[in-house]
Amino acid sequence: MIKFMAANVFKYTKAIVSGIPNSLAATAVRMDGSDEPVNLEKARQQHKNYVQVLTELVGEIHIIPADEQFPDCVFVEDPVVVCGDTALVTSPGHKSRGGETVAMKEAVTKLGLNVVEMTEPGRMDGGDVLFTGREFFVGQSARTNEEGLKQLAAAFPSYPVTGVKVIDSCLHLKSMMSMVVPDNISIGGTSQAAAVAKEIMERDGHFKYNFLSVPDDFGANCLFVNGTVVYVSKEPYPKSFEVFEKLSLPGFSEKIAVNISELHKVDGCLTCCSVLIN
């Protein structure tokens, strides 16, 4: 079991992203009650900017072409979990997303990663997997089951794995939290997010973390890439934006706000749109 965080754990040299299919606007999976129309042109412009920022941070970007059969395919984080040189190709938990694994398996195989495939009855969306650099927390959501957690633990045996119950009104564990910088986790403002941090992660986790409280759950989702924190823009989360604007934690060299407001409408967050590889 790992005791010290490897120095290169949040250092990335490549990222995988996907194009946005037209089908996203009408048929992407949404949480109940969310029906705001998506402006596809704006979504693609925002996504292009996101990819541009990642390109500057990691250098090499692999683009999986948009596939109209899979409205949610831009959310590449869900069909795979990559840690070190192993890629666990998951069994996504929503039936409309299962086929996304074919293109993802091809992409991670081409990149030379050791590919492990989840098998029945395992279910997992990568959005439920928070890797802290020392251990995994896995959301037990409507998309990820106990068997999925067991298969993740077998794929990455060097790290402890702890399950975290996520209620159905929250899509994924990382729909309310993410790593900001090493040993610091940003946590959304709902009572569920606070309870997960205090009552589960602090109690059951194997290491201690600082929690950064962020007003919005989606606003708490950020990326930490090669020393830079990539966080939500003023639109649509002005209060969360402000928290990151004032961020004074040690451990990062730059920060940049990126607007993906159109993808937020279909429950996407910043981490959902890329797979980072180190």
Nearer to ligand GLY, 72 or 216 (CB): 72
CB count within 10 Å of CB 154 equals 12
Strand-pair category, 254-258 with 228-232: parallel
Confirm or reject binding of residue 25 to ligand GLY (CB under 6 A): no
In angstroms, what is the minimal distance from the CB of 268 to ligand GLY?
Answer: 6
Among 14, 44, 62, 94, binds ligand GLY (CB under 6 A): 94
**β-strand partners of 53:** none
Confirm or reject binding of residue 266 to ligand GLY (CB under 6 A): yes
Confirm or reject binding of residue 53 to ligand GLY (CB under 6 A): no
DSSP state of 126: G
DSSP state of 15: E
Confirm or reject binding of residue 29 to ligand GLY (CB under 6 A): yes
Structure tokens at 134: 């020392």
Confirm or reject binding of residue 40 to ligand GLY (CB under 6 A): no
Nearer to ligand GLY, 86 or 192 (CB): 192
Q: How far is CA 214 from the centre of its chain?
A: 17
Catalytic residue positions, numbered: 172, 272
Any idea what the Cα angle at residue 78 is, between residues 143 and 217, rounded to 5°?
75
Nearer to ligand GLY, 115 or 171 (CB): 171
Touching ligand GLY, residues 155-194 (CB under 6 A): 171
Confirm or reject binding of residue 72 to ligand GLY (CB under 6 A): yes
DSSP, residue by residue, 156-190: STTS-EEEEE--TTSS-GGGSEEEEETTEEEE-SS
Touching ligand GLY, residues 106-135 (CB under 6 A): none
Q: How far apart are CA 242 and CA 213, in angstroms?
A: 12
Nearer to ligand GLY, 122 or 126 (CB): 126
Nearer to ligand GLY, 75 or 244 (CB): 75
What 3-state DSSP class applies to 196?
helix
- Site of tokens 């500057």: 56
Nearer to ligand GLY, 14 or 94 (CB): 94
Q: How far apart are CA 11 and CA 161, in angstroms?
A: 21
Among 9, 16, 17, 28, binds ligand GLY (CB under 6 A): 28
**Cα radius of gyration (the chain):** 17
Confirm or reject binding of residue 267 to ligand GLY (CB under 6 A): yes
In angstroms, what is the minimal distance from the CB of 210 to ligand GLY?
Answer: 29
DSSP state of 20: P
Confirm or reject binding of residue 75 to ligand GLY (CB under 6 A): yes
Confirm or reject binding of residue 14 to ligand GLY (CB under 6 A): no
Q: How far apart are CA 191 and CA 204, in angstroms?
A: 19
Which residues contact residue 5 at a Cβ distance below 8 angstroms, ignoring those fewer than 6 apart? 133, 134, 182, 183
- Point out which residues bind ligand GLY (CB under 6 A): 28-29, 72, 75, 94, 97, 171, 266-267
